[in-house]
A and B are shown apart, each in its own frame.
Chain A
Amino acid sequence: MLLNFDRLGWWKLVLIGITLLTAAFLLLPILFIAALSFGSSQWLIFPPPGWTLKWYQELLADPRWLESAWTSFQIAIIVTVLSVLLGLVTSFGLTRGRFMFREALKALFLTPMILPVVVLAVALYAFFLQIGLNGTLTGFVISHLVLALPFSILSITNALEGFDKSIEDAAVLCGASPFEAKIRVTLPAISHGIFSAAIFSFLTSWDEVVVAIFMASPTLQTLPVKVWATLRQDLTPVVAAASTLLILLTVLLMVLVALVRKGLKS
């Protein structure tokens, strides 16, 4: 009864109603920001009195926005590459290994994902102040790598656990070296796991703000830090323009993921 959609009666309408309201609650703020970024009102009046591109012009004319976006992009790309490589090696060790404390090690690798980010942020801030890594690209990369690695290990380990190792062994029996078998047989088979590891790592770094607030210096800051610093002063529509570009990037990534999933299925 309750789990049969067609036999719910008027409860069906209530459930659908709540669901659609929730979907609207989740979607409307995003659309709202996108609309406001084209609105001419400095005070973010809605509906806007007129339409304009001037907030985008202001955004693109300010070198600090572009610089911080470029910094974010560089960090995110380096973090993605390192996180996937490290995640691959570690996941092979974790799934194939039969050593003691394997589960404990796995749990340790996932801890940065569940601990409050602010604790890691403050701890790394103190540590980096002492060893001189604060406000450097290296400092950003290291701290974002610590946050991204659990997602990478989780995705790739899942994929590896679903892969039948005897296929790799068969390749070795057919004359491939163990390394060659991994590269040419196993890696293509777990490519979906590697792909989600890359996407998650990129987003973790690109969107990360708490650690970045502590890590940033007046000369080196990421895009989220720039947004944060601007928001602490006022609610300028320039942030709406920046947010809209970020939303656009999210949509593009989602489409990319959907396309790759479809490609992998067929």
Chain B
Amino acid sequence: MLSRTDARAPGSKAPAYRLRLTDFDLTLPALGLLVLFFVVPVAILLARSVSEPVPGLGNYAELLGSSTYLRIFANTFIVSGLVTLVSLLIGFPVAWALAIMPSRLASVVFAILLLSMWTNLLARTYAWMVLLQRTGVINKMLIALGLIDKPLPLVNNLTGVTIGMTYIMLPFIILPLYGVIRKIDPAILQAAALCGANRWQALVRVLLPLAMPGMAAGALMVFVMSLGYFVTPALLGGTANMMLAELIAQFVQSLVNWGMGGAAALVLLVVTLALYAVQLRFFGTDRMGGR
């Protein structure tokens, strides 16, 4: 490919075009890095799921046949679904308000969103571990208000994981949804009002349907991100609420069972990729990603 660069002759129109052919070469270093330290290791891990301890699909049969593991799969979906639902319920009104409120006030809220997103994940999780513990501020406040008699178990259970993960996922649903609502033409809602729709009708039959693509895309992204989450569930969840990522880590770290670890990783990968395929198919690529 280098010879093509040498072949360019000054003055002709060809060189610029020929130079472009070598642009592929520029991507080779990154491609090499990715193949060697991403594609190959993941492929080896997945291969071990059908070769260790004995060749065959034994690991998958064990993984999908045992009620212990099925409960972990179910739990992963329940937590992710719950986090997505709560994020959506809070995220929609906030994104809506941000799209129409005076820009001064909106920029303050945006700064808080960014600060929260950029703050170290462990620092945020730690904050919730302290806030939600038995002697924590939230329990104390509820007791002081007379709402409860003795401290509620808020951490090391489903409540703790849901609160902690919603806290992390909210910005990821608010920001894309804000972009979608912002683009809706206010005249459409004026038209709805002129045609006699009251607020509720305008909300349910005009605004919500128009915001639906953004809600679906944001919800899918939060759901997929939640599926693979490790740190927050491990610190805020209990042993009864183990999620799939923790199971993978446990297979590899404590049990040193690479076959089962690989099989569980494949399950997570397949579900994630399938959901991303849905996302790409219906919503395009522009709302993908995020930390």
Contacts and interface: CB of A to CB of B under 8 A. Distances in A.
Given A18-B97, A123-B45, A243-B122, A1 B27 contact: no
B23 A99 contact: yes
Contact of B203 (A2, A89, A231, A239): A2
10 contacts: A1-B199, A3-B207, A26-B171, A87-B30, A105-B31, A114-B288, A118-B248, A121-B249, A207-B120, A214-B253
A83 to B, nearest CB: 10
B272 interface: yes
6 tightest A-B CB contacts, nearest first: A116-B228, A93-B26, A97-B23, A243-B123, A29-B127, A127-B41
A97 B228 contact: no
Interface in B196-252: 199, 202-203, 206-207, 224, 227-231, 235, 245, 248-249, 252
Contacts of B227: 116
Interface in B109-157: 109, 111-116, 118-131, 133, 135-137, 140
Contacts of B54: none
Contacts of A266: none
Interface in A81-117: 86-87, 89-90, 92-94, 96-99, 105, 108-117
A254 interface: yes
B44 A114 contact: no
B37 A146 contact: yes
Nearest to B96: A15
Given A108-B34, A250-B115, A119 B207 contact: no
B23 A93 contact: yes
B268 interface: yes
A126 B90 CA distance: 40
A101 B176 CA distance: 29
A210 interface: yes
B98 interface: yes
A118 B245 contact: yes
A153 B24 CA distance: 15
Interface string A124-148: 1111000000000000001101100
Given A210-B230, A247-B120, A19 B109 contact: yes
B11 to A, nearest CB: 12
B123 A2 contact: no
Contacts of B63: none
B20 A29 contact: no
Given A93-B26, A243-B120, A19 B137 contact: no
A5 B119 contact: no
Given A27-B116, A92-B26, A105-B31, A110 B193 contact: no
Given A97-B27, A110-B288, A16 B97 contact: yes
A187 interface: no
Interface residues of B, number: 96
B215 to A, nearest CB: 15
B49 to A, nearest CB: 11
Contacts of A26: 112-113, 115-116, 167, 170-171
Contact of A18 (B93, B114, B186, B258): B93
B29 A86 contact: yes
Given A2-B199, A33-B123, A149-B33, 9 more contacts: A29-B131, A30-B115, A97-B24, A97-B26, A112-B38, A119-B268, A122-B261, A123-B44, A127-B37
B7 interface: no
Contacts of A105: 27, 31
Interface stretch (A42-50, A51-59, A60-68, A188-196): A42-50
Contacts of A96: 20, 23
Task: With a 10 A CB-CB cut-off, give which of A16, A23, A213 has the most chain B CB atoms.
Answer: A23
B85 interface: no
A3 B123 contact: no
A203 to B, nearest CB: 7
Interface string A237-254: 001101100110011011
B269 A115 contact: yes
